[in-house]
Structure 1
Amino acid sequence: MTTPDVGADDEAGVTIRCRDNASVGVTFCDRFSFDADSVHYAVELRAPGLTARVDEVVAWIWDSDLTTFLEELASDYRGWEGERSWQTDDQELTVSAVFRSGGHVGLTWALRPWPQAAGGWGASVTTWLEAGEQLTSLVADVRAFLAEEHR
């Protein structure tokens, strides 16, 4: 399930909660831009005993973006074999998707800031969504979040 969020400072965000366990989730927030070529945003992962955040994930306008990846998953709502994945240019955010019987998609959201640095860290959570309406709603919410004009 996805939820367009509005925080205390009225900045929009998107939260994805696992349908099987609502305490597991991912939040996109704190969006900003320096120029017309990129969008920067924070990604937070939550699960029992885990909180992880990367403050500056970068989406470049010329890349195949997260919205395109999610749209492709939503268009294959009847399922697929194996795992599909997407990542940012710098590999700080990776999303992997699997389809399971019953029409559900597992999205594993992995954060690995500074992937080339020694002593870096990584964290991931998996959210399960309905392949139809919930995944389609996620696409719309992420598209709106990434396209929003900087205030």
Structure 2
Amino acid sequence: MTTPDVDTDDEATVTVRCQDNASVGVTFCDRFSFDADSTHYAVEVRAPGLTARVDEVVAWIWDSDLTAFLEKLAADFRGWDGERSWQTSDHDLAVSAVFRSGGHVGLTWTLRPWTQDTGGWNASVTTWLEAGEQMTSLATQVRAFLTQEHQ
């Protein structure tokens, strides 16, 4: 088992690596903004034999926030039944979460660009993290990524 990882650096990225397989991961990067109402960013998923990217995911200030979803998962570190899910208003990024015994959360990250177009595609990877501290760290890092001032 490899060590799970949530990284940030000076280029404003957040990388989530699966604790069960470090070659499986998700990266939030290339953040920009046109106005105070939204943050645009790219999301990349990767696994052995798979690399996929959506270039312009949008987080609107009035939408249901990814960070609130992740913070709720972190707060429920003792577990829950069933699957919980979240998606952007454009449906181009979706996250579902399950809890497994031993205190781990499986986050399945799904990219679906061009949901209205014929020939669209989707790609998913699942990262496993420790339910408490690692989920809290992820929520904190994603919040910082999405709310950081743009230059």
| TM-score normalised over the length of structure 2 | 0.96
| AA at the equivalent of 1:96 | S
- What SS class does the counterpart of residue 70 from structure 1 fall into? helix
The secondary structure found in structure 1 opposite 2:13 is strand
1:3 is matched with which residue?
6
2:106 is aligned to: 106
Equivalent position of 2:86 in the other structure: 86
Gaps of 5+ in 1: none
Structure 1 residue runs of 4 or more that deviate by more than 6 Å after TM superposition: none
What pairs with 1:11-50 in structure 2 (closer than 5 Å)? 11-50=11-50
Once residues 32 and 2 of structure 1 are traced to their aligned partners in structure 2, the CA distance between those partners, rounded to angstroms, is 24
> Aligned partners of 1:55 and 1:80: how far apart in 2?
33
C-alpha distance in 2, partners of 1:3/1:65? Answer: 19
Structure 1 residues 28-55: Cα deviation after superposition (integer angstroms, max 9, x where no partner): 0000000010000000001000000000
Mapped to 2, the partners of 1:18 and 1:4 lie a distance apart of 12
Q: CA deviation at 1:116?
A: 1.4
Q: With the length of structure 1 as denominator, give the TM-score of the two structures.
A: 0.96
CA–CA separation in structure 2 for the residues paired with 1:69 and 1:39: 17
Distance 2:87 2:64 in 1: 9
Kindly indicate whether the alpha-carbon contact (under 8 Å) linking 2:5 and 2:19 is maintained by their aligned counterparts in 1. no
- The amino acid of 2:94's aligned partner reads T
Q: CA-atom RMSD, angstroms?
A: 0.8
Q: Whole-Å Cα distance in 1 between the matches of residues 16 and 7 of structure 2? A: 9
Which sections of structure 2, spanning at least 5 residues, go unmatched?
none
CA distance in 1, matches of 2:5, 2:136: 10
The answer to whether the Cα contact below 8 Å between 1:2 and 1:137 also exists between their aligned partners in 2 is: no
* Residue in structure 2 matched with residue 122 of structure 1 by the alignment: 122
